[in-house]
Chain A
């Protein structure tokens, strides 16, 4: 049975680089030291705990719908309601142009994608706070928790996205000048970049909220504000020249624009912009994971 030992193989990618063999030759499987090196991500160990990630996803999902009256229906109600409200306020009242796309589809596309990002950020940002009990009692790679959150969000996104495709089909049948194109094949990559951005920011925030509980409020406030700095309720094409760079500095902007272009045929697409988003995602992810792992090692002493 012991060939299943997790820490054995774990340490190969983990603490092992510096683990010398013991006097009798058999190597140590785990070495515990005060400080881990800066980028000691232990992907090997995380891989060995992949079953845990799967069970956490199941738990998140099941718990989510068992504790609500409407269950998974929320994945449909939430984007539908926001889209209706956006359509009325920004489309009808404010009259913001929507690149010639039916406002309802325009806002729904933005909403569905934004929800995925916002959830990825805000639900990973309380990793430490909401798992304090668990983390205090048993060791496992802590990154399994935020990764499982991302995967759970992906299920939610898939449901909302299918709902969106339904509306898209309906509008196309009615002859609206919209429709998907080849760029849609990039969706998985877009989602990956988006998850990287959300998780990177979320992890950094989680490390801060572990220490300062009041930052939680700042996070939800920040996410709400960030939405208005992202082309969710406005198209990039309407941004005046002098603000264009500011709008593009937001790494989520190209993702939303590409998403809308791929499925609705209206928007701004550029590989340069997308490369910028990817670079930012890598940067945020590296930063987030690093901070997360620094905090992880001593979090229990500050609770």
Chain B
């Protein structure tokens, strides 16, 4: 099979200091400090897993990768391993620092759907605008317009301005446009994980369809069952390098093994996030408010998130903690949209606390992701925040717990008996 993607010695360096500068004054200040041999006053003081020397983060550190035409390859790795950077370079959003990528055929990315939608334009006008942003010619859109509208299930509203659409309708329309791109190479990011279930199914169905049609798919995810189901082959990235490549089952096992080695509760996430929502500190507390490193099955858990934001105010916010098993399969979510009647309005600096009255999980390791939207705009997308260790407790008061094969949950319940023999 000829290659669809060839990557050679790909490197991407981010200079940490540079990211901070927003005004000329900042740069002058930095230059003056450096000239006098002082440390950069604006350099971010963060600790993270990415390797760095003197303020340089090496997000990708010499990636070599060949992807044959018609194959479906999964890319896995922890946050900061370089997955997203790799996709950004493949989709030409940012340029590499060194190395080379060669591609054969049109590339489309489902990194983000609905890019470039304008609220004042109608659904139909936005199909044309969005389609042309994604690289379709007007003629192509004309040909596929009916299919796109059908697929989106919004045909009655296609001449209504998009600003009157519900967010669900917007997503459906946007995905519908992207789904009809018909690319030779499809790049899919884990952003899909935040869509609703039917949207996810549609995306996955489309991926499958694309792959069966002999097209190439590169799929980035931290949901291991999706990787093993959809991708025969996977690549594990670690610290910007290809660590393992092979059949996806083996690669996923290697990833999990590496994750388990790292038993220390990953609560040090300072500096994770974006300017709009930066997580300063995470604390796990018990019911009394004392810090803990592990929670007992069925016990109360309080997750405190200290955050900061460069926005004056965060309004109409919804936040969610997404609990997953170690393979990445979703278990349950504590989503403020469901549990609160109103949106949250947050001060620019503050602490969010999620109180779980009982953690209904078997002893073991879980991961907790976080995401946060303000005014329906994603501030922080399903970031894997920390690993939650659940330890053994006598949940039922019988000294017994179910085996893991029966499912990960512990639910309070009781069995009753009624005698019907007399009647």
* A interface with B by C-beta (< 8 Å): 1-2, 4-8, 19, 22, 24, 26, 28-36, 48-49, 51-52, 54-56, 58-59, 62-63, 66-67, 133-140, 211-215, 297-302
Say if the beta carbon of B260 comes within 8 Å of chain A: no
List residues of chain A with CB within 8 A of the CB of B101.
Answer: 30-32
Assembly CA distance A213 to B20 (angstroms): 12
B129 touches A59 (CB 8 A): yes
User: Could you tell me the distance in whole angstroms from the C-beta of B190 to the nearest C-beta in chain A?
Assistant: 14
A1 touches B118 (CB 8 A): no
List residues of chain B with CB within 8 A of the CB of A30.
Answer: 92, 101-104, 107
B24 touches A31 (CB 8 A): no
A211 touches B137 (CB 8 A): no
A7 touches B103 (CB 8 A): yes
List residues of chain B with CB within 8 A of the CB of A213.
Answer: 22-23
Range for the number of chain B residues in contact with chain A? 35 or more
Say if the beta carbon of B145 comes within 8 Å of chain A: no
Of A7, A24, A49, A134, the residue contacting B115 (CB under 8 A) is A134
- A34-B112 contact given A55-B129, A139-B92, A300-B93, CB 8 Å threshold: no
User: Could you tell me the distance in whole angstroms from the C-beta of B263 to the nearest C-beta in chain A?
Assistant: 34
Say if the beta carbon of B105 comes within 8 Å of chain A: yes
B24 touches A62 (CB 8 A): no
List residues of chain A with CB within 8 A of the CB of B139.
Answer: 4
List residues of chain A with CB within 8 A of the CB of B90.
Answer: 32
Of A22, A54, A59, the residue contacting B2 (CB under 8 A) is A22
Say if the beta carbon of B96 comes within 8 Å of chain A: yes
- Residues of chain B in range 90-118 having any CB-CB distance to chain A below 8 Å: 90-107, 109, 111-112, 115-116, 118
- A297-B94 contact given A5-B105, A302-B18, CB 8 Å threshold: yes
Say if the beta carbon of B299 comes within 8 Å of chain A: no
B132 touches A49 (CB 8 A): yes
Q: 6 A-B residue contacts at CB 8 Å?
A: A22-B2, A28-B102, A49-B135, A138-B91, A139-B107, A300-B93
User: Could you tell me the distance in whole angstroms from the C-beta of A2 to the nearest C-beta in chain B?
Assistant: 7
Q: Which residue of B lies closest to A52 (CB)?
A: B132
Q: Which one, B37-45, B120-128, B413-421, is touching chain A?
A: B120-128
Assembly CA distance A136 to B93 (angstroms): 6
B105 touches A62 (CB 8 A): no
What 1/0 mask marks residues of chain B from 13 to 31 whose CB sits below 8 Å from any chain A CB? 0100011011111010000
A137 touches B111 (CB 8 A): yes
Of B25, B111, B140, the residue contacting A214 (CB under 8 A) is B25
List residues of chain B with CB within 8 A of the CB of A52.
Answer: 132-133
Q: Which residue of A lies closest to B7 (CB)?
A: A32
Please name the 7 residue pairs, one residue from A and one from B, whose CB atoms are nearest each other, closest first.
Answer: A297-B95, A139-B92, A52-B132, A32-B101, A51-B138, A137-B112, A28-B102
- A1-B182 contact given A134-B115, A137-B111, CB 8 Å threshold: yes
A34 touches B99 (CB 8 A): yes
List residues of chain A with CB within 8 A of the CB of B94.
Answer: 297-301
Assembly CA distance A302 to B139 (angstroms): 36
Say if the beta carbon of B6 comes within 8 Å of chain A: yes
A22 touches B184 (CB 8 A): no
Assembly CA distance A213 to B22 (angstroms): 6
Assembly CA distance A2 to B105 (angstroms): 9
B100 touches A55 (CB 8 A): no
Say if the beta carbon of B226 comes within 8 Å of chain A: no
Assembly CA distance A299 to B18 (angstroms): 11
B89 touches A138 (CB 8 A): no
B97 touches A34 (CB 8 A): yes
User: Could you tell me the distance in whole angstroms from the C-beta of B120 to the nearest C-beta in chain A?
Assistant: 4
Q: Which residue of A lies closest to B113 (CB)?
A: A137
Of A2, A28, A134, the residue contacting B133 (CB under 8 A) is A134
Assembly CA distance A29 to B116 (angstroms): 26
Assembly CA distance A138 to B94 (angstroms): 10
Say if the beta carbon of B134 comes within 8 Å of chain A: yes
A138 touches B111 (CB 8 A): yes
List residues of chain B with CB within 8 A of the CB of A7.
Answer: 103, 105-107, 135
Of B2, B6, B98, the residue contacting A26 (CB under 8 A) is B2
A67 touches B120 (CB 8 A): yes
Say if the beta carbon of B88 comes within 8 Å of chain A: yes
Assembly CA distance A45 to B22 (angstroms): 32
Besides the known contacts A7-B106, A29-B103, A301-B19, 8 further A-B residue pairs in the complex with CB atoms under 8 A apart: A28-B103, A33-B96, A51-B137, A67-B120, A136-B93, A138-B133, A140-B134, A298-B95
Of A4, A31, A300, the residue contacting B100 (CB under 8 A) is A31
Q: Which residue of B lies closest to A1 (CB)?
A: B182
User: Could you tell me the distance in whole angstroms from the C-beta of B182 to the nearest C-beta in chain A?
Assistant: 5
B21 touches A29 (CB 8 A): no
Say if the beta carbon of B292 comes within 8 Å of chain A: no
List residues of chain B with CB within 8 A of the CB of A59.
Answer: 118, 121, 125, 129
Say if the beta carbon of B3 comes within 8 Å of chain A: yes
List residues of chain B with CB within 8 A of the CB of A212.
Answer: 21-24, 27
B107 touches A138 (CB 8 A): no
User: Could you tell me the distance in whole angstroms from the C-beta of B28 to the nearest C-beta in chain A?
Assistant: 10
Of B24, B96, B109, B125, the residue contacting A138 (CB under 8 A) is B109
Assembly CA distance A6 to B133 (angstroms): 12
- Residues of chain B in range 44-98 having any CB-CB distance to chain A below 8 Å: 88-98
List residues of chain B with CB within 8 A of the CB of A302.
Answer: 18-19, 21
Q: Which residue of B lies closest to A27 (CB)?
A: B104
Assembly CA distance A58 to B98 (angstroms): 39
Q: Which residue of B lies closest to A26 (CB)?
A: B2
